[in-house]
Amino acid sequence: MARTELSLLVVDDDFRVAALHASIADAMIGFTTTARVGSVAEARTALTDHPEIDLALVDVHLPDGSGIELIREMRCDAFVVTAEDSATAVRHALTAGALAYLIKPFENTELARRLAGYAQYRRIVEASNLVQSQVDSAIATMRGERMAAPRSEEMSQTEQSILAAVTEADGPVFADEISASVGISPPTARRHLATLVADGRLSMRLRYGTTGRPKQEYRLPEG
């Protein structure tokens, strides 16, 4: 049976930062944090124990080595998430194979947006063969870019209905509300909402409550 969630590894020696990044990923439909570790050695062990890991969030400076060198030996995808802002580190990270380079501090919603883009990237590259427009779209999502939105007639009827429901709402809406309004299941609503966010048609942010996971709210992009 195919896995329905993308497996995440967080590599950061600040346990508070690691826990925060894991909580952001776990709040998103389609992601689950498999392991949180604080060193290169622990990351290697986690990767051996969990070969199913799809994506690693890796800091550059770790107690026992370089996160960039760790990425070079990984078989999974990786984002660099670090306070290191030198141009040399950025070049080396991209050469090592990092799909994204996020400089701390950043808004929690930025990591959520990049993860949504990664999920969209994975959906695109699941095909056996790709046309050029799909390659361009996959690369753009990893750069955090918003590709020009496709013509409305190219959207599915469901996505058109979701977009109309968000447009007509007085404020931000949740996936469960869209599910009820459009008449589709919550998982289907979340999948289409993630696509609309990755396409730049909708924006998403996390709303934190007093208990439980933060909820994702959706609205039209500003500007």
What is the fold of 6-107?
Answer: Rossmann fold (3.40.50)
Identical topology for domains 6-107 and 114-219: no
Is the bond preceding residue 221 a cis peptide, omega within 30 degrees?
Answer: no
Mean pLDDT per block of 10 residues along the chain (223 residues) reads 78 93 86 96 97 97 97 96 96 96 86 88 86 85 60 68 90 89 86 77 74 75 71
Closest CA to 158 of 187, 134, 132, 131: 187
Q: Domain ranges for the chain, please list them.
A: 6-107, 114-219
pTM of the model: 0.70
**What class is the 114-219 domain?**
mainly alpha
